Amino acid sequence: MPTRRERKKQETRTKIFTAAMKLFQERGYDATTIDMIAEHADVARGTVFLHFPTKEAILAHWGQEPLEEVIERRSEWDRPDLTCEQKIMEIFEIAMTTNRENLPLVRIFIKSSLNTPSAVIQGDIRSLRNLFADILEAGQERGVLRESIDPIIAGNMIENIYLHAVNDWVLAEGQWPIEEIFQTKIHYLFNGLNA
């Protein structure tokens, strides 16, 4: 059980994060300053920096929400009756549930991460790549995927397909057949393009 001090620290971090997300939505990421976040959260400017060293770190923290949801719901996608391709599609569907519920924030995250790639780098979006790589490596161990593939490189490819699909979905204001496109791209990846 967390100590009183740990709980207070987490409450302050949550307050800062919530204030920042509200301001990002209302004013836009670029127009929001650390001073505005501190004032809105009713904390000192230095307190913001104690919890988030940069504005990009706040944004990167939000970018972890879909991944956390995927990890929490592991029992839904990490089942022995699913193929590697099906597991990846299940992960995609879980992540998109969070994205659909938060389209305005996803829009800010995508736009800001394109303008400030360090927002994605500071976050641990690479964990998504590693999650995909773990699925592929398990497929190799079961003998259903070629041993010659590098699971990290292939996991990175799947992550790029996901991020590109989400970007296109955001640009289309959520009115784009993201599931169909993602599934088609993943199917091509798993089945190859050879005749």
Summarised one tens digit per residue, pLDDT across range 148-174 is: 999 999 999 999 999 899 989 998 988
Summarised one tens digit per residue, pLDDT across range 139-149 is: 999 999 999 99
Say what the pLDDT of residue 65 is: 74
Domains parsed from the chain with CATH numbers:
4-52 (1.10.10.60), 60-191 (1.10.357)
Q: For the whole model, what pTM was predicted?
A: 0.78
CA separation for the pair 105, 84 (Å, rounded): 30
Residues with pLDDT less than 50, the chain: 122-123
Say what the pLDDT of residue 122 is: 47
Say what the pLDDT of residue 127 is: 80
Task: From residue 136, give the alpha-carbon distance in Å to each of 29, 151, 183.
Answer: 36, 6, 17
